[in-house]
Amino acid sequence: MTAPSVTSCARAVHGPDPTGERKRKQPRNLLVPPRVATFDLSNSRHCVVSLEYSIHKCSPRFLWELAFTFPQFGRLKGSPSGKPTNPAAENAPKVLIVPTFQKSRHSLVAIGPEIEEEKDEMLETFLAWANNVRDALVKAGHWADMTDPSSGYPVHSPRGPSYFSDVAACQYLLKYPVMTTGCCNVLTHPQWETNFYPALFFTTAPLDVLQSVLNGLELN
């Protein structure tokens, strides 16, 4: 299985931006700022996982984009068949988005057998972490899922007609710098440059529940 790098030729994740240039450089809808944490996954072969994560609330516009990949967000509960969701409606789902970044040994913009091997390792590590978090949230009665960075489609939920660009979403939410190479965008990390692996996690759990699960897995 080959995972994508930190480049993206996918459609961008859009959203209204009525603010000025200075405001555009600030993270969007930020609830928990980026922090590096180490997690205990002793119930999997990935015993210890270190990654950076932040938590963002999902805006109505972002929810509209998300429905192309997670079709359950394309209908309101109880709405007539065929009626699309109004993301601004009161009963629209409240989704939290968790961008994650793993620091890599290599620049994942490069190509070669070692690069592909590291991408695959980081894909497995992310899925181990995300499934641990998801299992705890689902057990508590909340929906949670992640997009598979190697395909852009949901891991556990029915998939919609479009894949989701982790790179475009991370750039939109965190405002990390992007370089253009040919027709593709290359996301760069403020500290790690292009030596990182991005991936996204989603849940409808309240912030305090999600944070409690993360804190419970984190090594002190």
> 0.95 cut: is pTM over it?
no
Q: What is the pLDDT of residues 127-144, one digit of tens each?
A: 999 999 999 999 999 999
* pLDDT at position 24: 47
Count of CA atoms in the C-beta half-sphere (13 A) of 78: 5
Identity at 134, one-letter amino acid code: R
Q: Which residue has the higher pLDDT, 129 or 183?
A: 129
Q: Are 197 and 108 in contact (CB under 8 A)?
A: yes
Name 18's Cβ contacts closer than 8 Å, sequence gap at least 6.
none
Taking residues 146-174, what's their average pLDDT? 93
Torsion of the alpha carbons at 72, 210, 218 and 56, rounded to the nearest 10: 80
Q: What is the pLDDT of residues 75-127, one digit of tens each?
A: 644 444 444 555 555 566 799 999 999 999 998 888 899 999 999 999 999 99
Residue carrying the six token digits 């960075």: 149
DSSP-based three-state secondary structure for 98: strand
Q: Judge whether residue 198 has pLDDT over 50.
A: yes
